[in-house]
Structure formats: C-alpha cells, structure tokens
C-alpha cells in the first residue's frame, strides 16, 4: 500500500519559515492518517478521505482557504478517478460547499458524472451539503489589496491499495482573481487521471497543464511500457517549449512512487507504512 499527496505550489514556503514548517507538519499528519484509513478502506475511499483533510486545512488552496475570483466569489473544482473502473467524476466552479471532493464522490454513482457551476452547487444542496463559506480573512485581505500571487495552489492524492487498485483525487480553490467561469485542470484528465497501471495528480498553472495533457500523457506512457520516471521525464520535457508550470505526483501498479515539478517548490508527502517523505 502506498500514499502520496501534494499541497500544491506555495511561494510563501521559500520566504516564510513558519508557513513552510506548518505545511510540512500538516502533510505529515494527513499522509499518516490516510495510510491508517487505507488499511481498512479502498483506494477510492481513501483518496476522498485524504483530500477532504486537505480541503479542511486553511493552509492549502482547496476547500477552506480557497482563492477568491475577480468578482469577489469563491468557486472550487475537484475530481476523482478510479483506475480500475476508469470512471471519473467531478465538479467545476462549485460554490459554498466545504468539501467539493465529497460531491465528486457522490457523482460516481450517476451517469452524468461531471457537473459545473450552478448545476454542481444545486446537486450538492440536493444531496445534503449545506451552504458553507470557505472564505478566510487572509484570502479576503489578499483580494481587497489585489495581492495576486502565483496562483498555483491545488491539493491531490494518489493511492495504491492492498488489492493493487489505484485511485486519484484532486481539488482546487483556483488561482485567485481569475475571470468567473475559468476552468482549471483539476477536474479534467489533464490534471487528474488514473487507470490500472498508474495514477497521477497535478498542481500548477491549469492552462499549462491542459495544453500539455500532462496527467493523461504520463499514465498513457506508463501503460505503453515506459517506466514511471521515463514517462515523467518525457512529459515534463514537453512543457519546456512554453515554460509550462506544473508539478505531479504518481504511483504505478508496481508500487513505484514518483514526483516532479518544473519550477521546484511543490510541497508533497508520501508514506508506505514505514518510509515517510515530506518535501517542499
């Protein structure tokens, strides 16, 4: 069993030691809790559990603490993909929901598995998700002062369970100050993709990730016989012509774990029950 998760890119990690340590500690706590949960649950159930914990921590740009868009509202996106069934479900630009990844989980049961905007929010309400403001004072202060940052915050998790099944989930609060209606990569196969051979979750600039079809390329290349490292190297080389900003985490069916970022500062953690790695 393997767990790897990321907390997105975070520019403050290089300048604010307290924030850096806080994120490291949060990732260590969440990756260990997720591994314990995995011992009695499936890969799909565990990626939802892990990403819910990340959404509930205001250090990360997903769920609580999501970025505010140019019109003053928060809209979030999240997706899940089950590598064994090839089913993907997700929500795009959902509003006032504490845990978008849990809405995505419910959508797994439906034929219409990816919903956007008001339709996604209405679906959440019908399924018992009460209105919840994910805004925190820090985000409002940033918005009002127009302090636009890198905008590369996303969270994600990849799981390999005891039955050899892979699942992935990704959630984001957006890049901040974007045009309302902008679509991130998180609920697309460019940013969140898995099959029986490999699972990948992305963070970074959504437009770059979509242009490169990053997650899909990595998984397809592993399926076609590339090693995980080879698939990453070739795919990230293809980001270079347009200086694409992306970071990815992955696990393959053999239990290999890998990560790479084009502009080093992605924060992530992995755990297999014995070996813990926490980096930023």
Active-site residue list: 154
Instruction: Provide the β-strand partners of residue 199.
Output: 194, 251
Strands 87-94 and 114-116 turn out to be parallel
**How far apart (Å, rounded) are the C-alpha atoms in residues 175 and 250?**
23
**How far apart (Å, rounded) are the C-alpha atoms in residues 255 and 161?**
10
**How far apart (Å, rounded) are the C-alpha atoms in residues 211 and 204?**
12
In the chain, count of helices (H) and strands (E)? Answer: 8, 12
Tokens found for residue 95: 């509003």
Sign of the alpha-carbon torsion through 10, 42, 28, 222 = negative
Tokens found for residue 190: 């460019």
- Contact indicator for 81, 194 with CB cutoff of 8 Å: yes
Cα–Cα distances in Å, from 239 out to 207, 217, 235, 262?
Answer: 11, 12, 7, 8
Taking the C-alpha atoms of 160, 23, 131 and 190 in order, what is their torsion angle to the nearest 10 degrees? -50
- Contact indicator for 257, 4 with CB cutoff of 8 Å: yes
**How far apart (Å, rounded) are the C-alpha atoms in residues 59 and 19?**
8
């Amino acid at each position: 069993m393997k767990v790897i998760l990321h907390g997105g890119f975070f520019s403050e990690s290089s300048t604010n030691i307290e924030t850096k340590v806080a994120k490291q500690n949060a990732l260590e706590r969440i990756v260990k809790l997720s591994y314990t949960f995995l011992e009695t649950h499936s890969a799909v159930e565990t990626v939802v559990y892990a990403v819910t914990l990340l959404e509930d921590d205001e250090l990360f740009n997903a769920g609580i603490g999501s970025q505010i868009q140019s019109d003053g509202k928060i809209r979030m996106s999240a997706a899940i993909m089950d590598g064994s069934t090839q089913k993907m479900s997700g929500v795009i630009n959902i509003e006032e929901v504490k845990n978008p990844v849990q809405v995505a989980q419910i959508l797994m049961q439906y034929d219409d598995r990816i919903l956007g905007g008001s339709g996604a929010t209405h679906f959440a309400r019908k399924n018992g998700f009460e209105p919840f403001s994910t805004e925190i004072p820090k985000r409002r202060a940033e918005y009002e002062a127009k302090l636009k940052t890198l905008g590369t915050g996303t969270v994600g998790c990849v799981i390999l369970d005891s039955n050899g099944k892979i699942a992935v989930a990704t959630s984001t609060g957006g890049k901040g100050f974007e045009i309302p209606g902008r679509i991130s990569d998180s609920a697309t196969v460019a940013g969140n993709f898995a099959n029986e051979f490999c699972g990948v979750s992305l963070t970074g600039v959504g437009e770059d990730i979509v242009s490169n079809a990053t997650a899909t390329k990595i998984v397809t290349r592993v399926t076609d016989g590339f090693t995980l490292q080879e698939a990453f190297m070739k795919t990230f080389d293809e980001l270079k012509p347009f200086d694409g900003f992306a970071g990815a985490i992955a696990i393959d069916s053999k239990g290999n774990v890998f990560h790479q970022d084009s502009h080093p500062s992605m924060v992530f953690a992995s755990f297999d029950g014995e070996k813990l790695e926490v980096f930023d």
